[in-house]
Structure 1
């Protein structure tokens, strides 16, 4: 009996000590976006943040993951242009599909190619501290995540380039750089609209059409080929049916037949882009047809040929550049009128 009475207080004291230690540990683990390890790394890039945390925990489509607060060796199978706009130059990216924008020539120098499809062996050899992927490589997520923390961002995570860069800015702690791009975009858009204001009258409509070999498609404002620069930046007006069926519906691409051209291309201005691989015969099948030449914009000389190797890119820096190019094209075509 006496033995139990003597040991009970000691047990209570021990339990209190353990409880205090657990509470202290829990208090440390709930710190937002920081890892549980002691932070020792400091910012080495352009970010002026005073946060010295070595890691940050973020919510992703694959759940919570812990990534470096200031990654130094990013491998990006997609979104490399967005990372560049945020001041984060990847060590490697997909060259065949996504690199090559004329607006990123200088920034892409030194970036290694990870191949198409992505070479897991190449990624391993680069010793990345962060891997960024989209839907094209999500099937290999488990393999990538064994190499380094892997940030998967699906196409459905954003609805516009503005949303995209703000999202990445928040995920990677680069909000200031994201805001800087938004400011750059707004300034380029205002300059473009000012340049064309004496050429494009209020309410004039435009349509963006893409030809890929034998396929003809109407594109929206969030599918590349200059659509965002055209509709959001320069604020040319889409046709009502295009706005409803292609843009507002979220489809962003609508395949049509030749006989549908008058229905969907009855605009004041036509912007057309031919994909790589489309032959001259396939181009002529469209451009030499009677139905094409009956269109109002064709008759009035308001057709603009968009080079695929310039307008296929859809990263933030390329979009800003496309606004200026489109404005120049519109002004130049109408100089003699």
Structure 2
């Protein structure tokens, strides 16, 4: 009897073991594969070399511009430079952000940033780098669209940045076609700014909407402006020579505290663009930025100004 019982028990054990393995195998095949964990840091290839930055930054400090780039990509900003803080375009988004500079190190420490962004000429880069990863850019080294893509790479949001670039470029080019069809292919446009007691005329890459007007929309710049401002970016004018640099249309960027007495002179009043009501005044506060938030606002302004009259 014992001899018969032993083989029977062995067979039973093998059956139970097989069922267990089959159940375990079925369980494994039906289980959801474990998702890859998001890295805490990524390596960004900055101008000064590779640097480890947060993959999902939560507390960014901006020391010299790029504010609208970061805001457009939905990243939280805790500290900004004085120009950004006083920019009416960003008033709502930055109402809780602190004003800081490259010398207010103690205040920056208190804000506990996980990423600091600034221009290559800021001070105390070494000390700032001890507080948080610090990435700097040389202003004007790349065009305004490439700059946004770089910020996108830095914030681990390159796809979002590329999507905006593609969409904005398309819309700006289409608006340019409409405007040229209305004002004529040969009509010229000048961008002039009234700041303090000075007057400036700008080239095609010095903010104030110049990138949109000349690069994206392909509107023409007066030859005189090309001679003095295309390479340098801007040129200082006097009221007496202002008519020489005014195009058929003028975009006039005006600061609220600027000296506007030149507009009362006969020299200014006799400029054809003035006489033909082709001067479009734009708020100077915030116009010196060339980020997505500012550019969207400027594109809407140009479409309204050129196409509604």
TM-score (normalised: structure 1): 0.73
Residue 112 of structure 2 corresponds to 127
The residue number in structure 1 matching 2:166 is 183
Aligned counterparts of 1:252 and 1:51: Cα–Cα separation in 2? 46
Aligned counterparts of 1:224 and 1:81: Cα–Cα separation in 2: 13
In structure 2, how many angstroms separate the alpha carbons of the residues matched to 1:59 and 1:109?
A: 32
Tell me the secondary structure at the aligned position of residue 301 of structure 1: coil
SS of equivalent residue, structure 2 residue 172: helix
Cα offset, 1:292, TM superposition? 1.6
Please show how residues 2-13 of structure 1 align to structure 2 within 5 Å: none
Indicate the residue corresponding to 2:268 in structure 1. 292
Query: How far is the alpha carbon of 1:114 from its aligned partner?
Result: 3.0
2:194 aligned to which of 208, 211, 232: 211
Answer yes or no: is 1:257 the counterpart of 2:238. yes
CA distance in 2, matches of 1:118, 1:228: 32
Listed as ranges, the gaps of 5+ residues in structure 1 are 1-41, 43-49
- Per the alignment, in what secondary structure is the counterpart of residue 285 of structure 2? helix
Task: Normalising by structure 2, report the TM-score.
Answer: 0.79
Deviations 1:99-141 (A, max 9, x none): 355554554354x2133565211110111111111145x2111
Instruction: Please list the CA deviations of residues 161-216 of structure 1 after superposition, one character each: whole Å capped at 9, or x if unmatched.
Output: 11211222233432201112113312431453365456322221100111222211
Q: Which of 51, 56, 67 is the aligned partner of 1:80?
A: 67
**What displacement does 1:235 show?**
3.0
Instruction: Say which SS state the counterpart of residue 108 (structure 1) adopts.
Output: coil
Aligned residues: 274
1:139-158 paired onto structure 2 within 5 Å? 139-158=123-142
The reply to whether residue 89 of structure 1 matches residue 73 of structure 2 is no
**1:14-53 pair list within 5 angstroms:** 52-53=38-39
Deviation at 1:66, TM superposition (A): 1.6
Please give the alpha-carbon distance, in whole angstroms, between the structure 1 residues aligned to 2:249 and 2:203: 15
8 Å CA contact 1:55, 1:66 repeated in 2: yes
1:207 aligns to what SS in structure 2? strand
Mapped partners of 2:263, 2:140: distance in 1: 35
> Alignment partner for residue 224 of structure 1, among 192, 207, 211?
207
Q: Does the CA contact (< 8 Å) of 2:202 and 2:234 recur in 1? A: yes
Deviations 1:41-92 (A, max 9, x none): x9xxxxxxx7733222333233332212222222222312111223322222
In structure 1, the residue matched to 2:24 is: none
